[in-house]
Amino acid sequence: MSRYRRAHGSTFFFTVVLADRSSTLLVDHVDRLRRIYQTIQQRRPFETVAICILPDHLHAVWSLPDHDVDFSLRWNLIKGGFSRGLEPQERSASKLFKREKGIWQRRYWEHAIRDDADLERHVDYIHYNPVKHGLVTRVGDWSLSSFHRYVKQGMLPVDWGGDIRDIAGHYGE
């Protein structure tokens, strides 16, 4: 069993998605995303328990201060900061009216982490996501993930999740 940190305070899982699901904007501009993310994290503190940045979406688990659970403001600032300076995408009349660039889906998925088992499931999901989407065959091969921090801290083994090539073609024989 993995040695994850205990869930405490206000801990949430998020999925944040680009409007164009075929886009690779997040990995193409990952340095920009990191810079904005860190700036907002300094201005409105939160702990990133786990994160994985994929071409068209990202998953994260945040632990927020007990006195401040305004994750929507933080995401708004991150999404707006990332979008500023990028070319607008194709936009609907509604997005034009609201002065949106059409880069992000308006909404995002959030889930309040209930307990330690729920935290572990969501962190595992985040770390395995690049394999699930066929971007790599091993979790450790995707560089834009907190998985590497977990390995460095001894919380997960470097071969966690295995290699999808090892099970390809083996259907219960």
What is the reported pLDDT for 7? Answer: 46
Tokens at residue 72, please? 């929507």
Asked if residue 58 is part of any domain, the answer here is yes
- pLDDT greater at residue 111 or residue 1: 111
Query: Which segments of 2-155 are extended strands (E)?
Result: 10-17, 47-53, 57-64, 109-112
Query: How many domains does the chain divide into?
Result: 1
Closest CA to 78 of 39, 52, 117, 26: 39
Asked if residue 1 is part of any domain, the answer here is no
The average pLDDT across 104-108 equals: 89
Asked if residue 5 is part of any domain, the answer here is no
- Domain residues for 41? 10-162
| Length of the chain in terms of residues written | 173
Asked if residue 4 is part of any domain, the answer here is no
CB 8 within 8 A of CB 63: yes
Asked if residue 170 is part of any domain, the answer here is no
Asked if residue 99 is part of any domain, the answer here is yes
What is the reported pLDDT for 98? Answer: 47
Neighbours of 149 (CB within 10 A): 13
CATH code of the domain containing 133: 3.30.70.1290
- Pure H helices in the chain: 25-28, 30-43, 71-83, 93-97, 116-132, 147-152, 164-167
Radius of gyration over every alpha carbon of the chain, rounded to an integer in angstroms = 17
Asked if residue 171 is part of any domain, the answer here is no
Strand, helix or coil for residue 59: strand
Asked if residue 2 is part of any domain, the answer here is no
Worst-scoring range by mean pLDDT, 11-25, 37-51, 76-90?
A: 76-90
